[in-house]
Copies of this chain bind each other. A is one copy, B any other.
Amino acid sequence: MISTPYLLFLGDAVDPLAAKVAQGIKDWRPELCVGQFRLPGCKADMGLEDLTIEEAMARGAKTMVIGVANRGGYISDSWREVLKEALNAGLDLASGLHNLLREEQDLAFVADQNERALHDVRVPSVQYPIANGIRRSGKRCLAVGTDCSVGKMYTAMCMEKEMRARNMKATFRATGQTGILITGDGVPLDAVIADFMAGSIEYLTPDNDADHWDLIEGQGSLFHASYSGVTLALIHGGQPDALILCHEPTRKHMRGLPDHQQPSLEELRDAALMMAHVVNKECQVVGISINTAALSDEEAKAYCAETEARMGLPTVDPFRHGAGRLVDALG
């Protein structure tokens, strides 16, 4: 568990996209951000106040989150002095970079001296159990996709926000690096050892109040040859009561696999439901989330309406149109 609130480190981001982790935290957890820290030449801006480390400490910051990625995912020398200064001032560090903070000897040394934590969310920090398949109390919703990167995380985030606005009990459960940095907790599922994947998701979504919903962040796709095993572990560990089908309509082929085509929403529905019924006979597909970022307003509406008529399920782009109808569909 990463201590909050955060100071967002944007470093010398070469463009706004390089700081997409910071953007995600700012978009979804603005209340956790006391400000941002930028180096000369930084091309990203979260619209937060630029703070020194001392100012951030004075406002109660507990962790500096590296919200920016270099090409290659390494920790650059221009960052190093700032990171050490943060540790010396009493901040923890959190990172989703490929290169681990803990493997940088100078940072590990300074963290140790100051008794500060280095959170590398790319690797699991917990010894997860093997899944036992026992039904748990509370409700769970999982987004499954026709492909990777079709908006599964944003769908769960949008639904959680809407549910909280309605005073429903809802918790986004992060299963990827960005989600973990946004919420401060979760399972980096793609880095878990094969035998413990489903168990890690049972651990992440334990027994809860009967009217509480976990909104589980989806990963991969049952139809993606590289990552499908991760997706199935998520379905079987998550025991979903409700599935949301996610789709990006302009994709030409499966992400990273030029020879592979997306399945239809019908194929996704049938495959995901069959697999979900192994652990939860009552699971239903309740709605469809379309990532319409590449479509005009009119195209987006038409595509959703057409899909809704064909599939007989509420169909929206929750980021563009709101997640209300998906939340209604949870019943």
Contact = CB atoms under 8 A, between A and B. Distances in A.
Contact of A198 (B222, B228, B233): B228
A132 B226 contact: yes
Contacts of A198: 225-229
A285 B194 CA distance: 26
Interface in A216-244: 222-223, 225-234, 236-237
Interface residues of A, number: 42
Q: Which of A223, A227, A274 has the most CB of B within 10 A?
A: A227
A152 B213 CA distance: 39
Contacts of A279: 225, 260
A120 B18 CA distance: 40
Given A275-B271, A278-B228, A192 B191 contact: no
A16 interface: no
Given A133-B259, A225-B236, A230 B199 contact: no
A227 B195 contact: yes
Contact of A133 (B189, B222, B225): B225
A133 B191 contact: no
A274 B229 CA distance: 14
Interface in A21-70: none
A12 interface: no
Contact of A197 (B194, B254, B256): B194
B195 A194 contact: no
24 contacts: A131-B226, A132-B225, A132-B256, A133-B254, A190-B193, A191-B193, A191-B194, A192-B194, A193-B194, A194-B197, A195-B226, A198-B228, A198-B229, A222-B275, A223-B278, A225-B279, A228-B278, A229-B229, A229-B230, A229-B231, A260-B278, A260-B279, A263-B278, A271-B274
